[in-house]
């Protein structure tokens, strides 16, 4: 199956997951016919160029490269110092000195240097989170011939993206793991679930819609298509594959996750993201108005995370996960991609449960 907006053979987009994947996952999904993705927000331009080259050396299949589009916040040393003071007991219990104020930005937005990488490497799809870059940068991406996708968490955001000329809107439901793609509002409580959001977005925009959030098997894919999606984006289900770089503590938590195991939290980065509940979330969140703005909160917990993970614990790790983690399997990413589409086709072919 193919479509003008989607260069891959199968309508399955592997969600770009910064910190939990690299080249191997992208290649495995691409070789299986899906659209493999590379997350770029935590990479330098040089490292991104190297990763794209590594993918190209392994597969000729099309790929997606994903960027963040947030506006970096102005430094707020008083707020950051107050946040470190709130975490003082955690650091004392761990026998660690807290980091200095302003340690580590964590993630960077799309800029001219990254646009140059896109121009040189020409990925088939370039996707964005938190809106879109300015018109000058966006024009540079368009001139490479890349298809442009971006995430929307509301009908208003979807209409905004459609008006800016994207090739597809990714409708991200509240069930999705990781960061909310919201950019017209900061009210995470207002984000609809996918099955409420998806048909409304489909009705509101002219471009194809990719469904994202809580899809982890063929039944979910089939349901998304019934509601008007032209493709699906899947993330959490890939976290347990051998090609993902998911940490051991994260894998262990995913293996025992239930439907009620996740919360939206701003503790790890300063922006709402869905992850599995752990000690840090229980102690300070899940949402804390004192956390520094995105991505300045990242550095505050870094030393606690490193110590905790070294001791085999995920108490201070961002265990990103969607609400369908319990449906995920330990399975090769390529085999899983093929299986998911086969299951979706079988669900379409099955007789309805009524006469």
- 143 shares its domain with 204: yes
Listed residue (35, 50, 42) closest to 20, CA to CA? 42
Based on the domain organization, do 102 and 112 belong to the same domain?
Answer: no
CA distance 49 to 38: 11
Does residue 249 lie in a domain region? no
Q: Among the residues of the chain, which ranges form H helices?
A: 23-31, 45-58, 77-86, 88-94, 112-121, 135-143, 155-163, 194-204, 218-226, 248-255, 279-284, 298-310, 333-349
Tokens of 69: 């589009």
Do 95 and 121 lie in a common domain? no
pLDDT in tens, the chain (355 residues): 336 899 999 999 999 999 999 999 999 999 999 999 999 999 999 999 999 999 999 999 999 999 999 999 888 899 999 999 999 999 999 999 999 887 666 789 999 999 999 999 999 999 999 999 999 999 999 999 999 999 999 999 999 999 999 999 999 999 999 999 999 999 999 999 999 999 999 999 999 999 999 999 999 999 999 999 999 999 999 999 999 999 999 999 999 999 999 999 999 999 999 999 999 999 999 999 999 999 999 999 999 999 999 999 999 999 999 999 999 999 999 999 999 999 999 998 876 655 4
> Would you state the structure tokens that stand for residue 127, as one six-digit string?
């996707």
Cα angle, residue 6 at apex, residues 4 and 8 outer, rounded to 5°: 125
- Same structural domain for residues 101 and 116? no
pTM of the model: 0.95
Residue 338 lies in a domain: yes
Can you tell me whether residue 225 is helix, strand or coil? helix
Same domain flag for 101 and 208: no
- Distance from C-alpha of 172 to C-alpha of 214, rounded to nearest angstrom: 9
Domain membership of residue 250 (yes or no) is: no
Q: Are 286 and 312 contained in the same domain? A: yes
Domain tally for the chain? 2
- Regarding whether 269 and 171 lie in a shared domain, the answer is no
Is residue 142 domain-resident? yes
DSSP string, 247-303: -HHHHHHHHT--TT-EEEE-TTTSS-EEEE--HHHHHH-SS-TTSPSTTTTHHHHHH
**Largest Cα span, the chain:** 67
Q: Are residues 270 and 285 in the same domain?
A: yes
Range of the domain at 224: 1-70+107-244+329-355
The residues that bridge with 265 in the sheet, in sequence order, are 273
CA distance 224 to 218: 10
């Amino acid at each position: 199956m193919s479509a003008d907006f989607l260069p891959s053979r199968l309508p399955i987009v592997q969600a770009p997951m910064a910190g939990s994947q690299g080249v191997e996952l992208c290649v495995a999904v691409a070789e299986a016919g899906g659209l493999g993705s590379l997350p770029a927000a935590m990479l330098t331009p040089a490292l991104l160029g190297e990763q794209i080259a590594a993918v190209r050396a392994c597969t000729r299949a099309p790929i997606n490269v994903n960027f963040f589009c947030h506006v970096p916040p102005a430094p707020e040393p008083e707020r950051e110092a107050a946040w470190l003071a709130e975490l003082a007991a955690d650091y004392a219990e761990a026998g660690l000195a807290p980091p200095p104020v302003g340690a580590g930005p964590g993630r960077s937005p799309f800029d001219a240097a990254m646009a140059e990488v896109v121009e040189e490497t020409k990925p088939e799809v370039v996707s964005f989170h938190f809106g879109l870059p300015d018109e000058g940068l966006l024009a540079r991406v368009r001139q490479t011939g890349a298809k442009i996708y971006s995430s929307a968490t509301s009908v208003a955001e979807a209409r905004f993206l459609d008006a800016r000329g994207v090739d597809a809107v990714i409708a991200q439901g509240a069930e999705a793991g990781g960061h909310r793609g919201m950019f017209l509002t900061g009210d995470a409580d207002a984000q609809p679930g996918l099955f409420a959001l998806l048909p409304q977005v489909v009705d509101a925009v002219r471009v194809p819609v990719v469904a994202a959030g809580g899809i982890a098997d063929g039944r979910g894919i089939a349901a998304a298509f019934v509601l008007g999606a032209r493709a699906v984006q899947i993330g959490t289900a890939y976290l347990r594959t051998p090609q993902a770089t998911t940490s051991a503590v994260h894998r262990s938590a995913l293996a025992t996750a239930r439907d009620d195991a996740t919360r939206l939290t701003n503790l790890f980065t300063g922006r709402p993201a869905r992850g599995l509940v752990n000690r840090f979330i229980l102690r300070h969140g899940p949402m804390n108005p004192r956390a520094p703005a995105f991505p300045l909160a990242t550095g505050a917990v870094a030393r606690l995370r490193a110590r905790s993970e070294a001791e085999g614990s995920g108490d201070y790790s961002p265990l990103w996960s969607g609400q369908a983690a319990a449906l995920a399997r330990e399975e090769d990413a390529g085999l899983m991609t093929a299986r998911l589409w086969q299951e979706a086709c079988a669900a379409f072919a099955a007789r309805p449960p009524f006469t």
